[in-house]
Amino acid sequence: MRYVIIGMGVAGIAAAEAIRRQDSTGEIVLVGDDPHGFYSRPGLAYYLSGELSDRQLFPYAAQDFHKLNLRYVKGRVTRIYPVEHQVDVDRHGRLDYDRLLLAVGSTAVRLNTPGADLEGVVKLDHLDDARRIVKMARRAKTAVVIGGGITALELVEGLVARGVRVHYFLRGECYWRSVLDEEESQVILQRLQDDGVRIHFCTEAAEILGKRGRVVGVRTADGRQIKCKLVAFAIGIRPRTELAQAAGLDVERGILVNEYLQTSAADIYAAGDAAQVFDPLSGRSILDSLWGPARDQGYAAGLNMAGQQTAYVKSAPFNVTRLAGLTTTIIGTVGRGQDEDLLGIARGDSETWRQLPDAIVAQSGFDVNRLRLLVGEKRLLGAIVMGDQTLSMPLQKMILTGVDITPIRSKLLAPNAPIADVIADYWTQWRKEHASQQ
């Protein structure tokens, strides 16, 4: 049996681990064109800010790959032949497969602004991008950042940490309005301003100005000009679906798969950012751009490829991130609508976060420590925990397992309720009762 995995991200590596767990003798071929191999994409933010060295971005040592007993083919797959069970790899020719996994990830949406091809216009898509930004930040005194979501803030904070004066463009008056509420957005923006970031609300770049092929400034839609040598953008990501489309696989926003991560073609699977995964609980097909789901999808796909039928049951999306230096946990369904600073989904994002059913909001907070709960009839649907993370783990467990909150629902929704105390007390009580029942 030959398993071919296209892509060297966390989904592809997790699939290889699962396959090897089930099949100790089958051949695993990993095909990838990233010159750096497998590294932590979420770690790039901390590399950019100087908190991690590039060596710390690589979670796998040589012996880890050796244990998987796989063959690595460095190259780019140019075409898939589903009927023949073959793929074309540039410089290597055709490669046969029995099972194929598309773990090809996503790519940053390009900035469609005059001047976007000038030297000094950057994105944060992979390690080479991060290295390029670090190098340019040594010469650039001023930068403009355009976009929304987590990656835009990673760019802002990374540049500030490297001594660059940053102008941040927002098309509206809030940051990441599709996930955060107005007060949460204001907490983040105020912290950025306290760090010296100049925020330009209701502002759009009309043209990136250049001289001798290099960025020298940005002209806004209302006619202002801001001098800078660096323009960084993060306006969303797009799943890599080109190979799947050319092969005739079913594609919508991503590569459509069922609960077993199977595509519409026999013996071809997909996982990670590129996959639009069917969720049997909601009946919807969802895009995620989160490390955890990518790993879980890849592992489930690997088990299925090796003959161990395993449904991928999507749990509530969960991410712990840092926004303007503030640890923020996002769990379940917390927002709705679209963000004018993003085209589609962002990195570190989930479409599920914005599919909010009818729910009542319970929130409390002071300064940077904030807690917002989305309260359903019998369970919590989502939560945002900013600052103090004491309740992050209990809320994650309660939301992921659907703990019945009927006994405390009225307390949570009471005016000026001490919701953190209510949750902490109930969680302690629930754990004791649950432990006694086991």
When comparing pLDDT for 162 and 37, which is higher?
162
**Per-position b or e across 294-329, b if 16+ CB within 10 A of its CB:** bbbbbbbbbbbbbeeebebebbbbbbbbebbbbebb
Is the pLDDT confidence value at 435 over 90? no
pLDDT value at residue 69: 93
pLDDT value at residue 354: 57
pLDDT value at residue 254: 97
pLDDT value at residue 357: 47
Is the pLDDT confidence value at 358 over 60? no
Q: Which of 294, 313, 306 is nearest to 21 (CA)?
A: 306
307-331 average pLDDT score = 90
Is the pLDDT confidence value at 67 over 60? yes
pLDDT value at residue 299: 98
155-177 average pLDDT score = 96
Q: Which residues contact 410 (CB under 8 A, 6 or more apart)?
A: none
291-301 average pLDDT score = 95
Cα(47)–Cα(43) distance, integer angstroms? 6
Fold of the 110-234 domain: FAD/NAD(P)-binding domain (3.50.50)
Full-model pTM: 0.91
Is the pLDDT confidence value at 252 over 90? yes
339-364 average pLDDT score = 65
pLDDT value at residue 239: 96
When comparing pLDDT for 343 and 211, which is higher?
211
Is the pLDDT confidence value at 110 over 60? yes
Q: Do domains 2-106+237-305 and 110-234 have the same CATH topology?
A: yes
214-221 average pLDDT score = 98
pLDDT, tens digit, for every residue of 415-428?
A: 888 889 999 999 99
Secondary structure of the chain in HEC code, one letter for each residue? CEEEEECCCHHHHHHHHHHHHHCCCCEEEEEECCCCCCCCCCCHHHHHCCCCCHHHHCCCCHHHHHHHCEEEEECCEEEEECCCCEEEECCCEEEECCEEEECCCEEECCCCCCCCCCECEECCCCHHHHHHHHHHHCCCCEEEEEECHHHHHHHHHHHHHCCCEEEEECCCCCCCCCCCCHHHHHHHHHHHHHCCCEEECCCCEEEEEEECCEEEEEEECCCCEEECCEEEEECCEEECCHHHHHCCCCECCCEEECCCCECCCCCEEECHHHEEEEECCCCEEECECCHHHHHHHHHHHHHHHCCCCCCCCCCCCEEEEEECCEEEEEEECCCECCCCCCCCCCCCCEHHHHECCCCEEEEEEECCEEEEEEECCCCEEEEEEECCCCCHHHHHHHHHHCCCCHHHHHHHHCCCCCHHHHHHHHHHHHHHHHHHHC
352-357 average pLDDT score = 53
pLDDT, tens digit, for every residue of 92-109?
A: 999 999 999 999 999 999
Share of the chain above pLDDT 70, in %: 92
Domains of the chain, residue spans: 2-106+237-305, 110-234, 326-437
Fold of the 2-106+237-305 domain: FAD/NAD(P)-binding domain (3.50.50)
CATH 3.30.1370.60 corresponds to the domain 326-437: no
pLDDT, tens digit, for every residue of 69-92?
A: 999 999 999 999 999 999 999 989
User: Which single residue is written with the structure tokens 């950019």?
Assistant: 48
- Provide the mean pLDDT of the chain: 91
